[in-house]
Amino acid sequence: MKFKLFKYRKHETMKTTNKVLTGVLTAGLLFAGSSSAVAGNGDRAGQAGATELLINPMARSSGWGSANSASARGLDAFYMNVAGTAFTKRTELMFCRTNWLSGTDIAINSFGFTQRVGETGAIGLGVMSMDFGEIQITTVDLPEGGVGTFHPTYTNIGLSYAKGFSENIYGGIVLKAISESIADVAARGMCVDAGIQYVTGKWEQIHFGISLRNVGPRMRFSGDGLSFRGTSPTGTYAMTLQQRTADFDMPTLLNIGGSYDIYFKKDSTSMKNHRVTVAGTFTSNSFSKDEFRGGVEYAWRNMLMLRAGYVYEEGITSVDTRTTAFTGFNGGVSVELPFGKRGSSFAVDYSYRHTNPFNGCHTFGARLNL
């Protein structure tokens, strides 16, 4: 009787899980269908701000074009599909540095950690900062500069929580604070990411995922730098005038992805010695062209991993029609070495994103799993 009751409850749980998955997938597809009508619209392109939120600063996932939004795990999932942070075993720490558009002297530093809480939950923190270096101050009278420099600062800080709701479904949410500033002008705002991942198959080799990112209220620049000294219409006295600034939207997007793990041998001793993962993600952007991401990763014992990917958007194959510096090609490698009796590991990651012009984007990362 107990066995039949357990079997019945398991069957009911699977039915509920399938209903939840079907609802999420349907909602995501409907959103993609409705947003695709305006995504890439020339009338809206360039109207969003805070576009640094679209950058993936992680060395591991960017090595195959962020195609693995359905199967990203730990901190790699923080900037694509936060549900994957629920797979954190204990504690994970990461630091990455990106030489962005090599030749422009722009650098991106990112730091993050995730911590297991309870049986199925995980909390996380992610910090991303862009360094533009020192830029010459120019004026109408001094267009060549020579009167000093200024230092723009872009910083995003995110707090996340993810949880496994069953053996198959994982979900999570990120609350992000955004700051863009120079000495006398700044814009600050908040936005939210949410995502869900579904894992199935005999060896948990099938992955599906949906994530909605950068949803939040409009931002606006303000500060003393927007005011200037002038005179009254009659010219009789001096006055301070404040320039108006327009609100701008967040670069909201939707990711729908899937991936499949292929093992060379499916037995208890060597099934995980060699793995090939094929992944794809469709990105529906609200203020830029939609993107199709595809990638493949080979892993040997999860110690050596090689990756390659391609990101396609309309017009990217021709220099005459391309509207981005990226040509679509990505590559990466990771070396992860285990240590200790608890299954801890230390990893070094690298990724390259090809661009034309400039000399590509190089990302180096160090990762510690405790």
pLDDT tens string 2-39: 334 333 344 454 455 455 444 544 455 444 444 443 44
Confidence (pLDDT) at 235? 67
Q: Are 182 and 151 in contact (CB under 8 A)?
A: yes
DSSP type of residue 201:
S
How far apart are the two ends of the chain, measured CA to CA in Å? Answer: 43
Separation between Cα atoms, residue 108 and residue 105, nearest integer Å = 10
**233 burial class (0-12, 13-18, 19+ CB within 10 angstroms)?**
exposed
Separation between Cα atoms, residue 302 and residue 276, nearest integer Å = 11
Separation between Cα atoms, residue 352 and residue 99, nearest integer Å = 10
Confidence (pLDDT) at 232? 66
Per-residue pLDDT of the chain (370 residues; tens, 9 = 90+): 433 433 334 445 445 545 544 454 445 544 444 444 344 455 677 788 899 999 999 999 999 999 999 999 999 999 999 999 999 999 999 999 999 999 999 999 999 999 999 999 999 999 999 999 888 888 888 888 888 888 899 999 999 999 999 999 999 999 999 999 988 899 999 999 999 999 999 889 999 999 999 999 999 999 888 887 777 676 677 777 778 888 999 999 999 999 999 988 755 455 678 999 999 999 999 888 999 999 999 999 889 999 999 999 999 999 999 989 999 999 999 999 999 888 899 999 999 999 999 999 999 999 999 9
Confidence (pLDDT) at 6? 36
Q: How far is CA 230 from the centre of its chain?
A: 45
**224 burial class (0-12, 13-18, 19+ CB within 10 angstroms)?**
exposed
Please write the tens of the pLDDT for every residue from 190-212. Answer: 999 999 999 999 889 999 999 99
Confidence (pLDDT) at 139? 82
DSSP type of residue 62:
H
DSSP type of residue 25:
H
Separation between Cα atoms, residue 369 and residue 161, nearest integer Å = 18
- Cis bond leading into 357, ω under 30°? yes
Structure tokens at 316: 């990217």
Separation between Cα atoms, residue 197 and residue 194, nearest integer Å = 11
Q: Are 171 and 145 in contact (CB under 8 A)?
A: no
